Amino acid sequence: MNAALAIIPAAEHDRRRYIGGSDVAAVLGISPWRTPLALWEAKTRPLLEGPEQAKRVFTRGQRWESVVAEMLVEHLTNGGHTVEIVASNNRYVDPKLDYLAAEIDFEIKIDGEDEITNVELKTVHPFKASQWGDADTDEVPVWYTAQAMHGLGVTGRNRCIVAPLFGADEIRAYPIVRDDETIAAMRARCAAFWQLVETGVRPDPTNLSDLDRLYQGNTESPALIADEELTRLVLRLRAIQSEIKAREAEFAALEFDVKRSMRDATELVIPDDDKKVAVVWKARDYSWFDQTALKEHDAKLHRLFQRKTTSRPFTVK
């Protein structure tokens, strides 16, 4: 119950001090946005965001969530349920592990039951709808399932509803039921990660972005002499690079032949194909920023918004 849960006041909100629901997928290595190393750096570096900026972001989130929550209540009510919102935007500390916390977007009671159900609200681009299963199932992207399970573990509750808003007007409800075995395994991974945070031991890199973040390059460093294994890897890279170039040339030639046959047709259908439309070639409108025009119009303004960056291209010769 809520009375047994400790709430982190907004004034004490510092994401470096705990693993939250949006962090769990990164800890588990299943986040499409963040690696364990990137999360570790966020937890161990000095706080950069000022309290006023954090407050503005939090307020914007509250305004958006209230609208989506209203749509969810309407959706559940139309499905024959009675819904009572009992709390919103509370951030709870785990009663056993103080480095675990979970902010629950909304907490509701359904059909007059005493048990509280957690609600996680999401906004989803319509193009990402294919990542979700049918409504009223638990087929949600695994990183959101992890967040829901984390919230159930912290609050000790049994049910969560993940409610995505697709575009501006389609909302769905996906029920997630507590799984103690999954929660226990997640908490063990969180404990291991938090030990790295407390001891300052950096996690191993897991992708190319991690390597770019860790190693900036030093032109004064001597060339590395490849051993037998490294030589094998480089030769394989060369071979794959040649294959890619050959495939790209073949693809371009085939694309030319297909487009030449389609002419003004915007779709191509292959008979007896379940997917029906095999090729789409339609015009789309795009917006882009014309830097050249801005520079000619106001060179001073153009310089004002210029930013310098450094990259380290990887070239296989």
What pLDDT digit, counting tens, does each position of 205-263 carry? 999 999 998 998 888 889 999 999 999 999 999 999 999 999 999 999 999 999 999 99
Are β-strands 117-124 and 83-93 bridged in parallel, bridged antiparallel, or unpaired? unpaired
Amino acid occupying residue 100: L
- Regarding the domain delimited by 2-208, which CATH topology (the fold level of the hierarchy) does it fall under? Lambda Exonuclease; Chain A (3.90.320)
pLDDT of 71 = 87
* DSSP, res 221: S
Long-range CB contacts (within 8 A, 24+) of 194-199: 194/19, 194/99, 196/40, 197/40, 197/43, 197/44
Please compute the mean of the pLDDT values over residues 11-32 and round it to a whole number.
90
Give the model's confidence band at 102: pLDDT under 50 very low, under 70 low, under 90 confident, else very high: very high
Q: Are 44 and 36 in contact (CB under 8 A)?
A: no
Residue with tokens 């095999």: 278
Distances (CA, A) of 195 to 20, 37, 168, 263, 291: 15, 13, 41, 61, 47
Q: What are the start-end ranges of the H helices in the chain?
A: 24-28, 36-44, 51-78, 142-155, 180-199, 208-214, 228-262, 291-297, 299-304
pLDDT of 63 = 56
Report the residue count for the chain: 317
Helix axes 36-44, 180-199, angle to 10 degrees: 50
pLDDT of 49 = 52
- The neighbour count for residue 124, using CB atoms within 10 Å, is 18
Q: Are 235 and 316 in contact (CB under 8 A)?
A: no
Is the Cα dihedral 80, 81, 82, 88 positive or negative? negative
Q: Where along the chain do the CATH 3.90.320.10 domains lie?
A: 2-208
Give the model's confidence band at 2: pLDDT under 50 very low, under 70 low, under 90 confident, else very high: very low
How many Cα neighbours within 13 Å face the side chain of 65? 21
Q: Are 64 and 123 in contact (CB under 8 A)?
A: yes
Distances (CA, A) of 163 to 107, 121, 213, 245: 12, 5, 34, 44
What pLDDT digit, counting tens, does each position of 107-160 carry? 999 998 999 999 999 988 888 888 999 888 889 999 999 999 999 999 999 999
User: Taking 80 as the threshold, does the pLDDT of residue 170 lie above it?
Assistant: yes
More confident residue, 29 or 170: 29
Is the Cα dihedral 292, 294, 299, 303 positive or negative? negative
Residue with tokens 């030449």: 260
**How many whole angstroms separate alpha carbon 224 and alpha carbon 259?**
47
